[in-house]
Amino acid sequence: MSQAPALPSAVEAAAEIRAGRLSSEKLVRSCLERIAQREPEVQAWAWIDAEQALAQARARDRETPRSPLHGIPVGIKDVIDTCDMPTGYGSPIYANHQPAADAACVAQIRELGGVILGKAVSTEFATRHPNKTRNPHRLTQTPGGSSSGSAAAVADGMVPLALGTQTSSSVIRPAAYCGVVGYKPSFGLINRAGMKFLSESLDTIGVLSRTVADAALLATQLAGIPWTPPGAAMARPPRIAVCRTPYWAAADASVQSSLIETAARLKAAGAALVELELPAMFAGMNHLQVAISAYEFYRALSHERIRHPDLLSASLSARIAAGGRVSRAEYEAALVDTARCRAWIADAFAGFDLIIAPSAPSEAPELSNTGEPTFGLMWTLLQLPCLTLPCGTGATGLPLGLQVIAAAGCDPDLYAGAGWIEHQLAR
């Protein structure tokens, strides 16, 4: 990875813009310069128009700041509609497709004074078939999926903020592989109108950023949650549950040791730690997620599988076909089992504030695949807010992540607790 420019964080840039010490145009130019330098190698963008981005920035500079997001450039994953930019959903079926309207979250960013920098690469319909993007830390490795372009662009200093989406582990995993913050909110926190649906009960719009505060800045503005600038100390260190999950054996040695060593560091810093042993019913949660999502994929992609089967990848075609074999009775039974697990974990949070767990089974694998979603499936199915933090490196020197999870609907608690952990990891 070449040396990234000194791009300010979104929170820092917002403060400078409000104070009149930084223009949106200057900030956007620095992003575009980095893109011009690195995009031929990283290939993070599906569509970008420098003059259009600069025109937005100049318009913002002529205005009184509308919000803390005013003048800040944001990348948009290419499964989220934009009325003035093509949206291809990572598929040749939608080459040069131009939506008539912005997705709700894009319209909100414009309303808040943000700058839509461009469309970041997505895998095919936000599934697991790789697209062109490479990991900026090592170009032979995957950036993860499906929010591959968003994670790579943020990691390489091309943009301070980007939207991603998650149905299984599509924000958490690429953030871990690329060494950035990835935040999947509580289910439904950010409105999903205008994104390409795969799974109506799982799809979640999330944020890729370089800091917890930056992720919180964008999410709170979109969700209508009061924005609390960073720096407010927690009343006490958090109570943290260490959860190896039923899939601990899938994690390689560097991931396992990272979680154990990080837990010890947090305990030494004052956190109260407990071990969280999940009951046996959680061992099947990943299978439940696959069954539920496959059933919903089959129906959500009906047009594509019926009208354009020749333009679907073999891997996605196989997943769609598998969804067609999940019966309604099996689907409803999986929902019942899921509800039971959600109720158990909601009660368990009475004993702690946060859970920490692995973000991914390993460092980023090679480009031929986007990596395994093992450590995202369960938490996504539980509809909990999750955030991954950069947490050292693995055996080959690539980034590792630490996943931090809060109770459903407690996203501000996640910002505070993950921010505290972020501070400890930086010491």
- % of the chain with per-residue pLDDT over 70: 98
Q: Check residue 228 and give its pLDDT.
A: 83
Q: 182, 197, 223: which is the final residue of a domain? A: 223
Q: Check residue 242 and give its pLDDT.
A: 98
Of the listed 30, 170, 258, 293, which one is catalytic? 170
Of the listed 146, 168, 199, 293, which one is catalytic? 146
pLDDT confidence tier of residue 34, bands split at 50, 70 and 90: very high
Cα–Cα distance for residue pair 294/298, rounded to 1 Å: 6
pLDDT digit string, tens, across residues 171-182: 999 999 999 999
For residue 314, tell me if it sits in a domain.
Answer: no
Q: Check residue 6 and give its pLDDT.
A: 74
pLDDT confidence tier of residue 234, bands split at 50, 70 and 90: confident
Co-location of 18 and 70 in the same domain: yes
168 is catalytic: no
For residue 78, tell me if it sits in a domain.
Answer: yes
Co-location of 68 and 150 in the same domain: yes
Q: State how many domains the chain has.
A: 2
For residue 51, tell me if it sits in a domain.
Answer: yes
Q: Check residue 227 and give its pLDDT.
A: 85
Q: How far lies 82's CA from each of 116, 131, 173, 206, 383, in Å?
A: 9, 20, 25, 17, 26
Co-location of 37 and 182 in the same domain: yes
Q: Any idea what the CATH number is for the domain that residue 265 is in?
A: 3.90.1300.10
pLDDT confidence tier of residue 2, bands split at 50, 70 and 90: low
Decide: helix, strand or coil at residue 207. Answer: strand
Co-location of 183 and 247 in the same domain: no
Co-location of 150 and 70 in the same domain: yes
Co-location of 275 and 219 in the same domain: no
Q: What is the mean pLDDT of residues 316-342?
A: 97
For residue 259, tell me if it sits in a domain.
Answer: yes
For residue 392, tell me if it sits in a domain.
Answer: yes
Residue 356 has pLDDT above 90, yes or no: yes
Co-location of 271 and 149 in the same domain: no
302 is catalytic: no
On average, the pLDDT of the chain sits at 96
pLDDT confidence tier of residue 387, bands split at 50, 70 and 90: very high
Q: What is the mean pLDDT of residues 252-264?
A: 98
Co-location of 253 and 191 in the same domain: no
Of the listed 77, 119, 184, 196, which one is catalytic? 77
Residue 5 has pLDDT above 70, yes or no: no
For residue 192, tell me if it sits in a domain.
Answer: yes
Co-location of 260 and 217 in the same domain: no
pLDDT digit string, tens, across residues 200-219: 999 999 999 999 999 999 99
Cα–Cα distance for residue pair 423/427, rounded to 1 Å: 7
184 is catalytic: no
What is the residue range of 177's domain?
Answer: 12-223
Cα–Cα distance for residue pair 52/335, rounded to 1 Å: 45
| Contact between 56 and 115 (Cβ < 8 Å) | yes
Co-location of 274 and 154 in the same domain: no
User: Angle at the Cα of 191 (from 185 to 194), degrees rounded to 5?
Assistant: 125
Q: 194, 223, 252: which is the final residue of a domain? A: 223
pLDDT digit string, tens, across residues 396-427: 999 999 999 999 999 999 999 999 999 999 98
For residue 170, tell me if it sits in a domain.
Answer: yes
Co-location of 63 and 203 in the same domain: yes
Co-location of 215 and 257 in the same domain: no
Q: Check residue 129 and give its pLDDT.
A: 94
Residue whose pair of structure tokens reads 């930056």 in the numeric block = 214
Q: 223, 255, 270: which is the final residue of a domain? A: 223
Q: Check residue 209 and give its pLDDT.
A: 98
Cα–Cα distance for residue pair 74/185, rounded to 1 Å: 17
For residue 292, tell me if it sits in a domain.
Answer: no
